[in-house]
Amino acid sequence: MLVRMKAEAILYASEGVGIDIIAKMVERAERTVQEWLADWQATRMCSVLTGHAGNQNAAKLTRDQKQELKKILAQPPSQTGIHAGFWDVPAIRDVVKIMFDVEYQSDSSYQLLLRFCGPSFELPDPFDKHRNEKAVTRRMTEVKTQVKVLLDAGWEVYTADEARLEHEAWTRRMQPPKGQRTKLSVDRQRTSQSFFGALSLTSKKVKLYPIEGNQNTEQTILALERLQRETETEKIAVVLDNARFHHAKALTALYEPGRLLERITPVFLPPYAPDHNPVEHIWNAARNNIANIQHETPEETLGASASYIAGRTFDYDFEHLPPRETRNDFVS
């Protein structure tokens, strides 16, 4: 029974299910589930089938060979004669065959070797090929300095962004009785809704406005006008990305004295650097929150996302951003 519960907890965690939900499903305390997952990351199957830690009976590589492999993997593949830019399953397969004349039948065995030898299983951080890191760093230094000066002067500073949230059913693999098929009744309609979100760097709360139709200059003007109207502080700064419609003359002219958005001063992030915008991380958190919950209707899905964002405080700013959640260490 315990083995089954541990296995279920690990599988649920690999699909992104929250610790609190897993704890209820296996009828254990959250702390217990966290300990199971930590043990799984440290010792893999030995943590599920207790009493087998350190067992080398079925190992093809000896402990000494694994230590030697660990030293090899600490170097770039090119230094060992392997033509690869980074260590992956094909690369480690080649080096294990060349160095130790050993072959494993499944990719998962090589993935566990990678895990044992130090490298973690992570998705790469994608970035636009046009991105200039030096220019991004230089501009972000300017943005941080400007924002600090404005906050110290009593301005209300928001960091803003638009995003599109979607409702669609994705079917996953299941385990029905052998020889049988399982049918699921799902809503295959794909529906989306765009939002304008503005995080206050003072209150840490998000003002969330639905966008009618597509993201464009007109909708941005409407959102900024509403943001200005709902902000008591006289002077407002809004940090925006470099979407084309954020630089449209129809919008930028409205920041002039006597015009519709005269209380707002725009501050622009560097090009191709959405990861530096705190609101971008809020969108990601909202998507992850509903990723494994299938709601019946688009309204329920979008409402759950909006409630998640509007009902929380996010202690994010340009100096404190959450780490990218790109890794999956539970199942290799």
- DSSP for 261-287, written as a single string: TTTEEEEEPPTT-GGG-HHHHHHHHHH
- Supply the CATH classification number for the domain 133-168+186-310: 3.30.420.10
**Could you tell me if 277 and 318 are in contact, meaning their C-beta atoms sit under 8 angstroms apart?**
no
User: What pLDDT does residue 118 have?
Assistant: 74
User: What is the side-by-side strand order in the sheet with 156-167?
Assistant: 206-211, 191-200, 156-167, 236-240, 264-268
The length of the chain in residues reads: 332
Spatial CB neighbours of 45, under 8 Å, sequence gap ≥ 6: 52
Can you tell me the distance from the alpha carbon of 167 to that of 291, in angstroms, rounded to the nearest whole number? 10
- State residue 57's pLDDT score: 46
Q: What is the pLDDT of residue 38?
A: 86
CA 239: distance to chain centroid? 21
List of residues 6+ apart from 79 with CB closer than 8 A: none
Report the alpha-carbon distance of residue 87 to residue 77 in Å, rounded: 6
Name, in order, each residue with C-beta under 8 angstroms of 6's C-beta and a sequence gap of 6 or more. Answer: 36, 40, 47, 48
Query: Residue written as tokens 């209820």?
Result: 24
Q: DSSP for 39-99, please give it.
A: HHHHHTHHHHSTT-TT--TT-SS-HHHHHHHHHHHTS-GGGGT---SS--HHHHHHHHHHH
What is the pairing mode between strands 156-167 and 191-200?
A: antiparallel
pTM score? 0.59
Return the pLDDT at 165: 76
In this structure, are residues 157 and 202 in contact, taking their beta carbons and an 8 Å threshold?
yes
Question: Which class for 292: exposed (0-12), middle (13-18), buried (19 or more C-beta within 10 A)?
Answer: middle
End-to-end CA distance of the chain: give it in Å, rounded.
Answer: 24
Q: What share of the chain is helix, strand, coil (3-state, %, to 5)?
A: 45, 10, 45
Give me the tens of pLDDT residue by residue for the chain, a chain 332 residues long: 688 888 888 888 888 888 889 888 888 898 899 888 888 887 777 777 765 555 554 467 888 888 888 888 888 888 877 787 788 888 888 888 888 888 888 887 888 888 777 766 565 666 667 888 999 999 999 999 999 999 999 999 999 999 987 755 555 556 667 777 766 666 566 677 899 999 999 999 999 999 998 999 999 999 999 999 999 999 999 999 999 999 999 999 999 999 999 999 999 999 989 889 999 999 888 887 766 556 667 677 777 888 889 888 999 989 888 765 544 444 33
Q: Are 215 and 245 in contact (CB under 8 A)?
A: yes
| Residue 328: per-residue pLDDT | 43
Q: Is 162 helix (H, G, I), strand (E, B) or coil?
A: strand
Helix, coil or strand: residue 205: coil
Q: Which helix (H) or strand (E) holds 259?
A: none
